[in-house]
Chain A
């Protein structure tokens, strides 16, 4: 692929579309050719994404006016990618889909999670699940990538080393994720009205969250696992913090757990082990990650039991969505993996 990659973003007026555009405008090897919105077609993108004022003259196009490009990002509501795939696939040889449509590689798992038959089960195996820390080589060779869910990304990156090493009881994991309001997207509803939403700690998904299917798929390693998952919306705009309780199936000291995490993540550009004895920020803290592509992972072994509490934090719009997608683009196009993703975040914030 040439060093100047022409990309388009379908469904670009949402939060993930805006975040993608923010990143890609500063990518040295990418030209954003088009970005679409049915609602705002003809309007400058800065009407919707005001942080980009004076940074781009782009206006929204209608999705039907998309021209061929090198790589197409799809940020459409769940179900749209699969239903319109034959139109999209004609536009670009490479596609990164940020919806849930092709994250699961098994039609039965999809039906169980989304309560309907998958409209294109024939394509499920053609997409690579988009977490680079798990599937780097496959993404490098992929034409189609399905970016992972934000809660799933935080949970999976926190638990992956322990599940991979086989040191935890695979059927006894409990995960609680706390997420900011941007995860729900930019469409208003009665529950998002400011006087109702402000200061809330809203248990919006105590059981039955759809991301459990992704977590189960990626952490199974051939054996049956059971991950119990709850999600709570907190009074932040960005950020997700997963607190995962796992139980060791063998006697490990804290130093042994450290070694497992270090072995998996020491060379990763966007995963940091955050577990310090002193200081103000001793464990992962989502607010420090706003705008960054990092996933910070920490843990504490309970000295009184075999429980390990794993704490993992991301910006849901970055590592949990658009940042992860740009990381995939870099791999698919042969660019250095950190390109356009090196913002370190702010402190204080």
Chain B
């Protein structure tokens, strides 16, 4: 799973590289949707900020 260092206010989506802004009140464990690729991201740490893809639920999409 990919992770990325982030500043207190902005980071890059680990999947598509889109810039995403975080508020100062962001909590550890918070889930954020990337506005570009729709990936659900999890803030795994706030000191320092560390972002990774949130665990995926079972796939429910087909033909």
Contacts and interface: CB of A to CB of B under 8 A. Distances in A.
B58 to A, nearest CB: 11
B38 A258 contact: no
Interface in A260-317: 262, 273, 275-280, 282
B38 A262 contact: no
Given A275-B37, A277-B40, A278-B38, A255 B61 contact: no
Interface of A: 254-256, 258-259, 262, 273, 275-280, 282
B16 A254 contact: yes
B37 A258 contact: yes
Contacts of B15: 254-255, 258, 277
Given A259-B17, A262-B18, A278 B61 contact: yes
Interface of B: 14-18, 36-40, 56, 61
A222 to B, nearest CB: 29
Nearest to B53: A277
Contacts of B38: 276-279
A277 B34 CA distance: 10
Contacts of B56: 277
Nearest to A253: B17
B10 to A, nearest CB: 15
A33 B52 CA distance: 59
A258 B40 contact: no
A317 B40 CA distance: 36
Given A262-B18, A279-B38, 18 more contacts: A254-B16, A255-B14, A256-B17, A258-B16, A258-B36, A259-B17, A262-B16, A262-B17, A262-B36, A276-B37, A276-B38, A277-B37, A277-B38, A277-B39, A277-B40, A278-B61, A280-B61, A282-B61
Contacts of A254: 15-16
Contacts of A255: 14-17
A262 B39 CA distance: 16
Contacts of A278: 38, 40, 61
A215 B14 CA distance: 33
7 contacts: A254-B16, A258-B16, A258-B36, A262-B17, A262-B18, A275-B37, A278-B40
B61 A258 contact: no
A256 B38 CA distance: 17
A255 B14 CA distance: 8
Contacts of B14: 255
A254 B39 CA distance: 13
A273 B40 CA distance: 17
Contacts of A276: 37-38
Given A278-B61, A280-B61, A282-B61, A273 B17 contact: no
